[in-house]
Amino acid sequence: MFSETKRGKVITETFPQANRIEKDTSITGDIVSATDIRIDGRVEGNIKSSGRIVIGKDGIINGKIECVNADIEGRFTGELNVAEQLSLKTSAFIQGEVVAGKLSVEPGATFNASCTMKGGDVKLLEEEKSGQGKSGKTA
């Protein structure tokens, strides 16, 4: 009915594997990837991904990250730019500057960063009171 080759090929195409930097691996330099990246080692440099970046419990990154989504359990120091969802797990340690579409922080995570949230219609309180918001409507 189905051969092993066909089944393996379908699974590979349906679920592409993420790039992995394993524990006890250290990289100095920039990384650019069109797919997801999981980091359990150490990176000194910039990382850019068109997918998700996962920093495992043993992962340590010093530099700049640009990605669509990020899940962080390890340590990050630097500039973090996440287009959509940033999730900080209990063991996460973040220090630096963060720009994210959405932010999720579990209790116990350390977040020592300036944070800017993307998107949304931000109105100043004075504009809202005077009716000068974008819609011109008052609540």
Split into its structural domains, the chain has a count of 1
pLDDT, averaged across the chain = 84
Percent of the chain with pLDDT over 90: 71
Mean pLDDT over 112-119 rounds to 90
Q: What is the pTM of this model?
A: 0.75
Task: Flag whether 45 is in a domain.
Answer: yes
Task: Flag whether 5 is in a domain.
Answer: no
Task: Flag whether 10 is in a domain.
Answer: no
Which of 5-9, 71-75, 125-129 is modeled with the greatest confidence? 71-75
Q: Is the pLDDT of residue 49 over 90?
A: yes
Q: What is the pLDDT of residue 11?
A: 44
Task: Flag whether 25 is in a domain.
Answer: yes
Mean pLDDT over 68-90 rounds to 96
Q: What is the pLDDT of residue 18?
A: 74
Parallel/antiparallel/unpaired status of strands 60-67 and 42-49: parallel
Task: Flag whether 2 is in a domain.
Answer: no
Q: What is the pLDDT of residue 131?
A: 61
pLDDT band at 123 (very low <50, low <70, confident <90, very high): low
User: Cα(first)–Cα(last) distance of the chain, in Å?
Assistant: 63
The range of the structural domain enclosing residue 24 comes to 15-130
Task: Flag whether 8 is in a domain.
Answer: no
Task: Flag whether 35 is in a domain.
Answer: yes
Tens-place pLDDT, residues 26-42 = 999 999 999 999 999 99
Closest CA to 58 of 37, 78, 47, 43: 43
Task: Flag whether 33 is in a domain.
Answer: yes
Phi, psi of 104 (to 5 degrees): -125, 125
